[in-house]
Copies of this chain bind each other. A is one copy, B any other.
Amino acid sequence: MTHNLRLILLIVILVLGAALRQADAGETGATATGDLGVVVERASGTLLIVDRSERAAVGRVTGLGDLSHASVTFSPDERFAYVFGRDGGLTKVDLLTRTIAARVIQSGNAIGGAISDDGRLIAVSNYEPGGVRVFDADTLEMLADIPTGAKTIGLVDAPGRRFVFTLWDAGETWIADFSTGGDPAITNIRGIGANPYDALITADGRTYIAGLFGEDGLTRLDLWQERPAPERILAGYGRGEAPLPVYKMPHLEGWALAGDRFALPAVGRHELLWVDARDFAEIGRTRTHGQPVFAVARPGGRQVWVNFAHPLNDTVQVVDVPSGEVVHTLTPGPGVLHMEFAPRGAEVWLSVRDGGRVEIYDTETFRKLGEIAAESPSGIFFTARAHRMGL
Contacts and interface: CB of A to CB of B under 8 A. Distances in A.
A50 B302 CA distance: 35
A347 interface: yes
B23 A119 contact: no
Interface string A292-310: 0000001111100000000
A97 B32 CA distance: 11
A355 to B, nearest CB: 25
Contacts of A322: 224
B161 A96 contact: no
A362 to B, nearest CB: 8
A344 B301 CA distance: 20
Contacts of A28: 94, 96-97
A78 B76 contact: no
Interface in A67-103: 74-79, 94, 96-97
A34 interface: yes
A15 interface: yes
A298 B224 CA distance: 14
A215 interface: no
Given A11-B8, A23-B23, A96-B27, A300 B16 contact: no
B78 A388 contact: no
A347 B299 contact: no
Contact of A119 (B20, B53, B299, B387): B53
A76 B32 CA distance: 10
Contact of A22 (B23, B116, B206): B23
A139 interface: no
A365 B118 CA distance: 13
A364 B76 contact: no
A23 B33 contact: no
Interface string A30-56: 011111000000000000000011000
Contact of A346 (B15, B19, B78, B161): B161
A291 interface: no
Contact of A8 (B8, B78, B384, B389): B8
A147 B342 CA distance: 31
Given A32-B96, A77-B53, A343 B27 contact: no
A159 interface: yes
Contacts of A386: 34, 343
Contacts of A172: none
A78 B260 CA distance: 30
A212 B7 CA distance: 73
A244 to B, nearest CB: 34
Contact of A34 (B77, B159, B300, B346): B77
Contact of A302 (B79, B206, B342): B206
Given A7-B8, A34-B78, A204-B259, 13 more contacts: A8-B8, A12-B15, A16-B19, A28-B94, A32-B79, A33-B33, A34-B74, A52-B77, A117-B344, A159-B299, A179-B364, A206-B259, A300-B389
Interface of A: 4, 7-8, 11-12, 15-16, 19-20, 22-23, 26-28, 31-35, 52-53, 74-79, 94, 96-97, 116-119, 159-161, 179-180, 204-206, 224, 259-260, 278, 298-302, 322, 342-347, 363-365, 383-384, 386-389
